[in-house]
């Protein structure tokens, strides 16, 4: 009976917001259960870019091929701990992408029933993987004229009600955010060792402060990973004494975070852009280093080079919970100029880091290569892309791409 | 009988035996084989310089093969291959005079970059002798690390002669790609790390699969395995077209072959080294071969499932494991180590192979 009351409360009350402490707790819980992905660095590329240091957190090497596994596993572990009866009944989520695979794999590992609802036209390779990881995959078919994502989402909600399954959200969820934040905890700790040698683990009195990452560049869809990383920075450096700044990168035409950041309030893509139209008179997309004007009037026409490749980062708006964390903490939010930058970054990842990245996974690297650092440090356009002495961290967040398409 | 002549004959006989003994002793002494202690010394030198590369696992692979696979990812090593370890260890062991004279080597592959990068880190001059038709990317990478590249015509000039002439002129030290005590010891640190890493989870290895070119990597790893997991069987894997190591192990002496035609360009060596063979014949269980198709299949698996770029030679280890599992030679649930040697492959070639 107590369980029923608790469950009702969970539905009716607002869940507690994500916190820095929550991220640290998640790091303990996930230790040994997720891959402690490596930091990769290329001496050659560093010197080519100007002498600074570019550190890549290779989350494409995470279980299921993307960082999403952390959030998914953490969410399920907390469900099992906090509401065991719900865990016994199972979970449902709507996704055709990396979250679907991650949740399926995590649920199978924990022996929790998992239903994933995907639109019928999602790539078959992704659908196959979701099923292969052990989820109960259900396909939704959107009648012509309706929004396929809205239909699948509604279907998931229906299953949740009908079958008593807990409906999970891929990013706008405190425990998912805590799980993603463990990337930030690892990254900062690993970077501390890399940048400071053997003294990294203990600060000595009288010695200069330990070197850390100057800026972490995070590819961004709904904002779950970047919210987690922002909280990780708070946790390890203190909310009021942060040394590491955090920036988001979005694909062209899906820059809701970039516009929200400029406007200082949360904006959705529907509010920003008019419906798609192929007007040849549209201005070319602005360079990634040019900030969006604070006084931009919306809606505006969508850019000609709206991304087609970054399928994992096409969320319609920043999450409400994620924006509550990110809004006050981000130091910048940009969009890359076009998909070509992304393809170039995928090649750089191949050549210099031996990583197979999906387009969304290479977005952070693309922004850096396009000169993000130049604009951040106020250098002129002639300056190096990565100035000496500067340490930039990039999350390479996923590698789930079809190899034939990649080739 | 003329006494002087008799004495003359006796002295000549004595001198001949004397010289034979001296020659035999120098031959044995020349085989100054590295031991595990050298691998340990190398790991101290490489700490904080080389990457302690990750050991990855794959649930999919384990499920498919019915064994537990631990993959040491030297494709994430500095300059993209395990060769950095041996190169840096060798240069670190040079005397100050030798360092001042600079290092020479010949290679169009990973050893060239390893030496160039190591020399740059140590503030030494490096000259790499490369064929004129070496892949542009490898030449650029070597130069990018500050190496001086000296080109020769591989059809008209003899590489060893070019090297000797340069050595005469500059007094530089020649560091070969595999038949060198400190190079072998350096390569062995990759195996040492693999055993140490999995020991933290209470695991060890029943088998270790390693690619074989000149034998530097496998002999180094065999030293580590012998010390850290004596029950572990070290198995070498060669391309089918270039099975000189397999033949050498069978015959008990080093076999020379012509440059083999295979996509595994890091395993196109014509013969094992004296030191590498010296270790292999005692500590390597056996050598098997795989086809180029099997290598491409592994390359595809690494890219698709594990999101890693592995060059064809780097796939020899996994291809060998898969073959033996198929043949029923590996008991279920065995703990199998695989070393990925490197990830230096040109993207267009990679895509060409994957789409073939």
Q: What is the pLDDT of residues B74-107, one digit of tens each?
A: 999 999 999 999 999 999 999 999 999 999 998 8
Radius of gyration of chain B (CA): 22
Range in A27-31, B167-171, B181-185 with the lowest mean pLDDT? B167-171
Mean pLDDT of A104-130: 91
Facing A44 at nearest CB: one of B141, B300, B307: B141
- Which 258-297 residues of chain B touch chain A by CB within 8 A? none
Residues of B classed as catalytic = 83, 108
What's residue A165's pLDDT?
96
Taking one residue from A and the other from B, the number of pairs with CB-CB distance under 8 angstroms is 65
Of chain A, the percentage scoring pLDDT greater than 70 comes to: 88
> Smallest Cβ distance to B309: which of A37, A43, A355?
A355
- Residue B256 pLDDT > 80: yes
Weakest mean pLDDT among A7-11, B23-27, B334-338 = B23-27
Inter-chain touch A350–B347, beta carbons under 8 Å:
yes
Per the CB < 8 Å rule, is A356 touching B145?
A: no
Listed range (A152-161, A396-405, B143-152) with the worst mean pLDDT: A396-405
| pLDDT of A145 above 80 | no
B216: pLDDT strictly greater than 70: yes
Q: Measured at the alpha carbon of residue B50, what is the angle toward residues B49 and B53, in degrees to the nearest 5?
A: 140
Contacts of B304 in chain A (CB under 8 A): 356, 403
Task: State the Cα–Cα distance between residues A183 and A62, nearest whole angstrom.
Answer: 10
**Residue A96: per-residue pLDDT:** 76
pLDDT at A200: 45
**Beta carbons of A356 and B351 less than 8 Å apart:** no
Using pLDDT thresholds of 50, 70 and 90, give the confidence band for residue A278.
Answer: very low
A293: how many CB neighbours lie within 10 A of its CB? 11
Strand arrangement, sheet containing A391-396: A39-40, A53-58, A391-396, A215-219, A245-250, A332-335
Closest partner residue to B355 among A347, A350, A407, by Cβ? A407
φ, ψ for residue A51, nearest 5 deg: 105, -10
Q: What is the pLDDT of residue A124?
A: 81
Of the pLDDT bands very low, low, confident and very high (cuts 50, 70, 90), residue A4 is low
Closest CA to A139 of A402, A151, A69: A151
- β-strand partners of B335: B68
Residue B58: strand, helix, or coil? coil
pLDDT, residue B2, reads 56
Asked if A35 has any chain B CB less than 8 Å from its own CB, the reply is: yes
Helices vs. strands in chain B: H and E counts, helices first:
15, 10
* Interchain proximity A407–B354, CB inside 8 Å: yes
Give me A170's structure tokens. Answer: 């891929």
Which DSSP state fits A249?
Answer: E
Cα gap A273→A340, rounded to integer Å? 22
Residue A133 pLDDT: 94
What mean pLDDT comes out for the span A173-186?
A: 98
Q: Which range scores top for mean pLDDT: A195-209, A264-278, A354-368, B4-18?
A: A354-368
Higher pLDDT, B16 or A304: A304
Residue from B79, B84, B307 to probe the interface with A (highest A Cβ count within 10 Å): B307
Segment B30-65, tens digit of pLDDT: 689 999 999 999 999 999 899 999 999 999 999 999
Is the Cβ of A63 closer than 8 Å to some Cβ of chain B? Answer: yes
Q: Confidence band (pLDDT; 50, 70, 90) for A197?
A: confident
B54 vs A61: CB contact, 8 Å cut-off? Answer: yes
- Residue B268 is encoded by which pair of tokens? 């196109």
| pLDDT category of residue A8 using cuts at 50, 70 and 90 | low
**What percent of chain B shows pLDDT beyond 90?**
77
Of B354, B281, B298, B315, the residue nearest B210 (C-alpha): B315
Inspect the interface and report whether the beta carbons of A407 and B300 lie closer than 8 Å. no
Which of chain B's residues have a Cβ under 8 Å away from the Cβ of A347?
347
Which of B148, B67, B146 minimizes the C-alpha distance to B329? B67
pLDDT band at B134 (very low <50, low <70, confident <90, very high): confident
Exposure string (b/e) for B75-96, b if CB count within 10 Å is 16 or more?
Answer: bbbbbbbbbbbbbbbbbbbbee
Closest by CA to A251, choosing from A364, A166, A115, A383, is A364
CB atoms A197 and B48 under 8 Å: yes
Separation CA A69–CA A98 (nearest Å): 8
- pLDDT of the residue at A379: 55
Residue A279: predicted pLDDT? 46
Q: Which residues contact B343 (CB under 8 A, 6 or more apart)?
A: A354, B75, B76, B80, B81, B308, B309, B310, B311, B314
Predicted confidence (pLDDT) at residue A75 exceeds the cutoff of 90: yes
Residue B124 confidence (pLDDT) above 50: yes
Q: Tell which of A354, A358, A396, A399 to mutate to test the B interface (max B CBs under 10 Å).
A: A354
Distance to chain B for A350, nearest Cα, Å: 7
Please report the pLDDT score of residue B189 as a whole number.
98
Name A324's Cβ contacts closer than 8 Å, sequence gap at least 6.
A17
Q: What is the mean pLDDT of residues B256-269?
A: 90
Q: What integer is the mean pLDDT of A33-42?
A: 97
Residues of B in contact with A61 (CB under 8 A): 54, 56, 306-308
Which range is least confidently modeled, A203-207, A245-249, A372-376, B284-288? A203-207
Mean pLDDT of B337-343: 97
Q: What's residue A143's pLDDT?
A: 82
Rounded mean pLDDT of chain B?
Answer: 92
More confidently predicted of A217 and B4? A217
Give the gap in angstroms from C-alpha B60 to the nearest C-alpha of chain A: 10
- Identify the residue whose tokens are 């955010």: A177
**How far off is chain A from B75, nearest CA to CA, in Å?**
7
Res. A23: pLDDT tops 50: yes
Residue range A282-298: average pLDDT? 59
Q: Which of B117, B303, B344 sits opposite A356 (nearest CB)?
A: B303
Mean pLDDT taken over chain A: 88
Cα–Cα distance, B182 to A195 (Å, whole number): 28
- What is the reported pLDDT for B21? 58
**Res B29 pLDDT > 60:** no
> A354 vs B78: CB contact, 8 Å cut-off?
no
Using the Cβ of A351 and the Cβ atoms of chain B, whether some distance falls under 8 Å is answered with: yes
Task: Report whether pLDDT(B235) > 50.
Answer: yes
């Amino acid at each position: 009976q107590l369980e029923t009351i608790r469950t009702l409360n969970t539905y009716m009350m607002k869940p507690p917001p994500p916190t820095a402490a929550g991220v640290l707790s998640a790091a303990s819980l996930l230790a040994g259960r997720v891959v402690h992905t490596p930091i990769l660095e290329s001496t050659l590329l560093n010197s080519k870019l100007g002498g600074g240091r570019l550190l890549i957190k290779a989350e494409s090497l995470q279980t299921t091929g993307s960082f999403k596994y952390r959030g998914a596993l953490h969410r399920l572990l907390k469900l099992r701990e906090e509401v065991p009866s719900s865990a016994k009944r199972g979970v449902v989520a709507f996704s055709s992408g990396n979250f679907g695979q991650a949740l399926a794999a995590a649920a199978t590992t924990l022996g929790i029933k998992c239903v994933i609802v995907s639109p019928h036209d999602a790539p078959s390779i992704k659908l196959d993987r979701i099923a292969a990881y052990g989820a109960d995959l259900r396909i939704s078919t959107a009648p012509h004229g309706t929004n396929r994502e809205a239909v699948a989402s509604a279907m998931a909600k229906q299953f949740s009600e009908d079958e008593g399954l807990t409906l999970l959200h891929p990013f706008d969820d405190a425990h998912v955010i805590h799980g993603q934040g463990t990337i930030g905890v690892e990254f900062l700790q690993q970077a501390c060792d890399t940048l400071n040698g053997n003294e990294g683990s203990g600060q000595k009195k009288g010695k200069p402060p330990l070197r850390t990452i100057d800026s972490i560049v995070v590819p961004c869809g709904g904002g779950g990973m970047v919210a987690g990383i922002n909280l990780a920075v708070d946790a390890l450096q203190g909310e009021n004494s942060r040394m590491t700044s955090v920036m988001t990168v979005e694909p062209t035409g899906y820059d809701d975070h970039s516009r929200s950041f400029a406007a200082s309030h949360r904006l959705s893509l529907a509010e920003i852009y008019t419906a798609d139209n192929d007007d040849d008179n549209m201005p070319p997309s602005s360079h990634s280093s040019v900030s969006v004007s604070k006084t931009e009037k919306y809606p505006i026409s969508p850019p000609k080079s709206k991304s087609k490749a970054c399928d994992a980062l096409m969320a319609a708006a920043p999450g409400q919970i994620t924006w509550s964390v990110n809004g006050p903490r981000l130091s910048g939010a940009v969009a890359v100029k076009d998909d070509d930058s992304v393809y170039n970054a995928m090649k750089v990842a191949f050549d210099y880091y031996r990583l197979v990245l999906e387009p969304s996974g290479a977005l952070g690297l693309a922004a850096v290569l396009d000169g993000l650092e130049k604009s951040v440090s106020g250098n002129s356009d002639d300056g190096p892309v990565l100035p000496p002495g500067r340490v930039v961290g990039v999350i390479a967040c996923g590698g789930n791409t079809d190899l034939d398409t990649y080739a | 009988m003329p006494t002087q002549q008799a004495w003359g004959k006796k002295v000549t006989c004595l001198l001949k035996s004397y010289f034979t003994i001296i020659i035999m002793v120098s031959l044995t002494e020349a085989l100054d084989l590295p031991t595990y202690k050298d691998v340990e010394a190398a790991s101290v030198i490489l700490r904080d310089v080389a990457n302690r590369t990750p050991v990855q696992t794959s649930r999919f692979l384990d499920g498919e093969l019915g064994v537990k696979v631990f993959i040491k990812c030297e494709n994430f090593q500095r300059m993209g291959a395990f060769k950095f370890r041996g190169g840096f260890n060798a240069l670190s062991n040079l005397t100050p005079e030798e360092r001042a004279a600079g290092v020479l080597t010949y290679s169009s592959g990973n050893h060239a970059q390893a030496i160039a990068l190591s020399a740059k880190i140590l503030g030494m001059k490096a000259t790499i002798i490369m064929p004129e038709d070496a892949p542009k990317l490898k030449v650029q990478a070597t130069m990018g690390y500050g190496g001086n590249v000296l080109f020769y015509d591989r059809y008209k000039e003899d590489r060893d002669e070019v090297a000797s002439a340069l050595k005469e002129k500059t007094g530089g030290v020649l560091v070969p790609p595999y038949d060198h005590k400190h190079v072998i010891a350096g390569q062995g640190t990759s195996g040492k790390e693999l055993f140490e890493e999995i020991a933290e989870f209470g695991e060890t290895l029943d088998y270790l699969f390693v690619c074989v070119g000149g034998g530097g990597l496998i002999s180094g790893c065999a030293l580590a395995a012998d010390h850290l997991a004596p029950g572990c069987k070290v198995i070498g894997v060669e391309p089918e077209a270039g099975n000189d190591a397999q033949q050498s192990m069978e015959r008990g002496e080093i076999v020379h072959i012509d440059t083999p035609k295979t996509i595994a360009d890091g395993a196109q060596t014509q013969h094992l080294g004296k030191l590498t063979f010296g270790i292999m014949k005692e500590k390597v269980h056996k050598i098997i071969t795989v086809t180029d198709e099997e290598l491409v299949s592994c390359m595809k698996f690494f890219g698709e499932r594990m999101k890693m770029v592995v060059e064809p030679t780097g796939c020899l280890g996994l291809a060998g494991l898969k073959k033996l599992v198929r043949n029923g030679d590996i008991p279920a649930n065995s703990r199998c180590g695989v070393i990925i040697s490197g990830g230096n492959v040109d993207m267009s070639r990679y895509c060409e192979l994957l789409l073939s």
